[in-house]
Structure 1
Amino acid sequence: MRTNLAIDPARSAALFVDLQEEHRKDCRYLVEGFDDLVLRVRRLQAAARAAGMPVFHSAYVVDPGNGGASPFHPMLEDGRSAFSDVGDPLSAICAEVGPAADEVLLIKTTASSLAEAKLPAMLKARDVEWLLIAGVWTEACIAATVKDAIGHGFRVLLVKDACGSGTAAMHQTAILNIANRLYGGAITDTDGACRLINGEAVEAWRVQGSVPLRFTYDNAASLFAEL
């Protein structure tokens, strides 16, 4: 349900997941609407930095030569990863949404940005309560990151229009799946997130009960719009 929400910017942080060049330039791995997503991320980053909020970044990079590929990871015939290969320039974070100054960039080989202890430890050292999350792909790295963030005791502020996937349907149904189990957290859009970062209160969607969003092929898009 939608309810009034305010967060303490001094106890919040922002995490931007896997905003890499391949998602707008590699035909095998394109994210629908990626350029618009990047513009929203830039707004979020600007708001977070202006508020003095810690900003973190992650990138999924696979290094098969150093044992960085899981047993069933898709590989090309020449031994390179089918995506996010360590030697591919398109694995780099998009420059306009990359780390600024001393912001942390985490290189990962699993879906979740919190799978290893490093980031949770840094967040807890800063007494972070709310973790704003945006990036790609919604059903994969975003979903895994959100799940681990909740498991570590962080409240997740998921920015629904600053995440993306291969198609709108993939993205929207993934957000709905996450929303059904976003315990302790909230969902908003870029406008709402920027207002929250600025210390304002907004109306945001928060889960109540057990799996309240029983979506179908026919109503998924409308339920997503109502979040």
Structure 2
Amino acid sequence: MTTALLVIDLQNDYFADAELARCKADVLAASNLLVRAARAAGALVVEAQTVHARDRSTWALNMLDDDQGMAIEGTEGARRLDGLLEPDLCIVKTRDSAFYDTPLESRLRERGVDRLVLAGVSTESCIAATATDAYARDLRVVLVDDATASVEWRLHDETLARLQRQYRQAVVPARRVRFD
């Protein structure tokens, strides 16, 4: 099996919520542990960043409804977290799934990837959407419970349990992820 690591939305705006701010250091440390392990095994490391246009042309419906954008291009909020190790490849997305209207699938296929390790935020939205889309593309998924987080831990736990049950996606701590 050829495995890649995908780190999603480890950007300043996503940690503005008090609960996510509280677990930011832990998620960052677990994500960096995964990056190091992936590099040691020669696995591809991909970072997916959400970046929206100032002119609202890329905003999601909830952003438009609330008249409040986030991760706006060129802002401090869109910037990746300080201390996050550099990826091999960075893709920009405008929706929850890292596959939606991005080159992610083709880049993974070019490298023969058939297993994806997911880390980042938020578990119930971007992680879940990406995991579901990966399943639809016949990619095995490993969800890293301590390298993912949510504004509500109940949502985090329920989402991981659902993905594990429905799509047979493994849920493991960062220290147990293998890339070889």
**TM-score, shorter chain, exceeding 0.5:** yes
Cα distance, 1:70–1:168 mapped onto 2, change above 3 Å:
closer
User: Which structure: greater helix fraction?
Assistant: 2
Q: Which of 105-114 and 15-24 deviates more?
A: 15-24
1:68–1:180 CA distance, 2 compared to 1 (3 A): same
| 1:21 alignment partner AA | N
Match of 1:22 among 13, 23, 26: 13
- Does the CA-based 8 Å contact 1:32-1:168 persist in structure 2? no
Which stretches of structure 1, 4 residues or more, deviate above 3 A after TM superposition?
27-32, 74-77
1:32 and 1:167 in contact (8 A); partners too? no
Deviation at 1:50, TM superposition (A): 1.3
Where do 1:33-48 residues align within 5 Å? 33-48=23-38
TM-score of the pair, normalised by structure 1:
0.72
Percent of residue pairs bearing the same amino acid type: 26
CA distance in 2 between partners of 1:191 and 1:28 (Å): 26
The separation in 2 between residues aligned to 1:45 and 1:128, in whole angstroms, is 16
What secondary structure does 1:65 align onto?
coil
Note the C-alpha offset of 1:62. 1.8
Query: Are 2:58 and 1:73 equivalent residues in the alignment?
Result: no
Partners in 2 of 1:27 and 1:175 — Cα distance? 20
Residue of structure 2 equivalent to 1:106: 91
> Secondary structure at 2:107's aligned position in 1?
helix
Aligned equivalent of 1:85: 72
Give the equivalent residue in structure 2 for 1:62: 52
Aligned length: 180
**Paired residues of 1:62 and 1:84 also in contact (CA < 8 A):** yes
Aligned counterparts of 1:117 and 1:132: Cα–Cα separation in 2: 18
In the alignment, structure 1 segments of 5+ residues that lack a partner are 1-7, 200-227
Letter in 1 for 2:140: R
Normalised TM-score (structure 2): 0.89
Match of 2:136 among 151, 173, 180: 151
RMSD: 2.1
Query: Pick from 158, 181, 188: which aligns with 2:172?
Result: 188
Unaligned runs of 5+ in 2: none
Alignment-mate amino acid for residue 187 of structure 1: V
- What SS class does the counterpart of residue 85 from structure 1 fall into? coil
CA distance in 2, matches of 1:127, 1:14: 13
- SS state at 1:171 partner: helix
Cα deviation per residue 1:95-123 (whole Å; 9 max; x = unaligned)?
322534xx211111100001125111111
